[in-house]
Structure 1
Amino acid sequence: MAEGKLYEAALINDAATLHRLLEKDPLLLERVSCTCSNKTPLHVATMKGNLRFVQEILNRNLELAEVLDSQRSSPLHIASAKGYLDIAKILISAAPDMCLSRDFGGKNPLHLAAIKGHVRVLAELVRLCPLAAREKVDGGQTVLHLCVKYDRLECLRILVPVLNEEIVNAKDTDGETIMHMAIRDKQVEIIKYLVETGKINMNAQNSEGQTILDILDETSKDATNSDIRKILQPSLWKSRGPRTQPVKWLTKKRDSIMVVAILIATMAFQAGVSPPGGLWQENLTEDSKGNPVPNPHYAGESVMSYRHPKYFRNFIRVNTVAFVSSLSIILLLISGLPFKRRFFMWFLMVTMWLTVTSIAVTYGFAILVTTPKKYKQSLSHVVETAIFVWCCVMGILLLGNTVRLIDKWLRRKGIVIRPLERFRNSAEVRVKHGENGSQESV
């Protein structure tokens, strides 16, 4: 009977009735908190926004602030979802740990405030318990994902400035950031704000390898797409401009490239001073009768130069190219040249191509010279074919990169060559189709 009157008083904010009931039964609130299987009077008073009744209950029994209902919701969950700032402040002071409590949906009070768009409650919760903003709901979504999902721009304005970039760029279980979600839903104002913050990783990929531009290309084409592209363009160019990725790769691989260049230089030097077939160990200018020989040689000279003069000349040429180009790579890497410029990246690539190709050709000549005659004909055909194919492949790559360099230079000058433009577009289409096909096959 008393419990029923207590709930009725909670509904109508009747603090006087609460006082009378507690005078008759001082343990009434304790008994309710232990026996209640659903919502306590504090839950009811909070749902109705009855601030005075909430204060009176908490003055008598603070433990009720920690009692959960059948949905595992605390009174603070309800106050946050309803947007009752004053009640939320009282409940937080009574039970601060409830800021991190999760209901059956995996949401804490801060999540609910963000979903409902209650900015003042959200700001108070973040101020008093910033750890709550790091918690994720089911599906791996952060409170920022919820703000984007429910189009709560003002809530984002509260949260993004106080959270670090790791949280702002956090991904859900599908690998999508808040920018992926905003692009997919074409939320122009949210996209504009996120770009302005400067905290967004514009190159982030979801679990399917899609960037924000890939998702934008998938959406229906309308005027909103153009507006979004205009918003994204400056930040995309700044964050991933055409020079960023090669420079990052070169920075990471610099030491490895240096080691390879030193190794090739050592191999080329050794092959130069000690060519295949070895060196003559003694002079031979006369025969046993003292007559001059038709083809004399001296100690320290290459045997290969006498037995295979044609091969020897070509061997020395390509070996010298390998040696000089590998030394050039070493100098380029330690000279501090501005590799952010495309020309220097192209020059380094050409030098590496010469180095690797030259050492490969040097190997081919060495094998041909040291191979017995009975195997030489068949082996020479294999070696020549392999070297020819290698040079063709490397030549195509070199030509392609050279054309790209020239095209970029012309585009900066405002000159667009239509055949190159069509080639680029068709190449991008083929790449996209290839990626889509591989994803479907998986």
Structure 2
Amino acid sequence: MDLRLYEVCETGNFTAFQGLIEEDKFILREVMPLSGDTCLHVTARFGHATIAGEILNLRPDMAHAVNHEGLTPMHLAAANGCREVYELLLRTNPGKLCFLRDRDGRTPVHYVAMNGDYSMFSSAMVLCPQSTTSLTDKGETVLLLCAKYNKFEFLNVLISFPQDKESVIDLIHVPDNHGNTLIHLAKVAGQHAVSGPFWLGAEPVQGLFAQVWVGPKPALCGQGEARARTQTQTQPAAGPKVELVTYMESRANTEDQTRPPNDRSVEDLQSQSQRNQNQPENRDKAEKDGHFQEQWLEGIKSSRGTTSVVAALIATASFAAGISPPGGVNSDGAAAGTATRAHTAAFKVFAVVNGLALLLSLTILILDIVVIPYRPGPLTKLAVMTRRILWAAVAMLLVAFMAAAWIVMPHVGAHGWVAWCLMSLGLLVFFLLVFCLIAMTRFLSDTTIPSCSSDTSEPSGFAVVAELNRRKEYSATQLA
């Protein structure tokens, strides 16, 4: 994707966006090489509804585009809480967009439940009520996702005052693929309070909640009069025994802390990674790792810039020395314009190594300007390759200087020692460069380079920082 297009979609500069469209009408076809995000994905993530609406006017099909993780722009808008973009996409094609799933089988409505936004959930219930009852690949309902991501206030609103109460109440007793229900998840949460009574099945659940009554179970989709009997402080009539559980303030169950890891009755409700994320020490470690990764990426970018500057200087010096050879040129006769010392061995060495220095430095510039920004590939490998070429160019420039000094300096007489001194210093610097190169190679081989993502390959070019920020923002949204 063009860096200018990404920046416009990130900042929401509508004027600049229109300018890019006028400049290249096919620019909207570009995607990010690593993530597969389109410009609508980026716009939905940062919540710029104006640009999103213009993209949908130009390319309505982009609303259905999925990236490499199976996420649509509507998924990203729901995960990041961008209501305007979410509702804009929802009105585009609610019958299809609400049912598109990612790799885990989650629809945009599931991400709304994980984010705990009742306004966005209400919009989905009005335009596409069937989407609120869909299940993930793990059999999770929107209520189970609310409990797993600690959105209990949002869960209270759904249970107490939903716009379509029947469709939500029906989901209370639906278990996931591991048999976990909303009641079990509330037990794991412990410290959270969930108001409103729940009718349980015939099988009792002992010791989980504050108040338990025995009475008849009303039809879940029946009339409001049947549900009115479930209000607190009202004694139900005698009949078949089932449990009505109401809990206002739950406490953490200490048995969960001592339960063995192999007992999955509770461990399946919240993964260990989610629990570790909530611990302060693990959060600090994650922040330090992320800061270290950012520093490493900034170092890679700074190294690329420095390498390009040095390569440009070497190319300039080599070109100037090539057209103005040491010892000057002949000014008359048949040999006019040729080097006066071209017949010497030192000049021949100078011409060869000076040409090599020029070619190597130009190779670095071509790689950095043409190849690296527009070709996906491991950024570290490209940086190591350009660094080695730079070392070779510096060595060739040093040898060229030594040969030129040998040509122009006197070899005998009172000043003969100067040429030998320059040659000795040049050889000393050359061997010092070789020693530094070997030391740096061993140092880098013993250093663990941080990984920016779970992918085996690294991002390349100008998209590396933008891609890292995108993944960090998306991960933070998922864990929120």
Task: Give the number of the structure whose alpha-carbon radius of gyration is greater.
Answer: 1
TM-score range, shorter chain: 0.3 to 0.5
User: What is the TM-score when the length of structure 2 is the normalising length?
Assistant: 0.41
Structure of greater relative contact order (alpha carbons < 8 Å, 6+ residues apart): 2
Which has the larger share of helix? 1
User: What is the TM-score when the length of structure 1 is the normalising length?
Assistant: 0.45
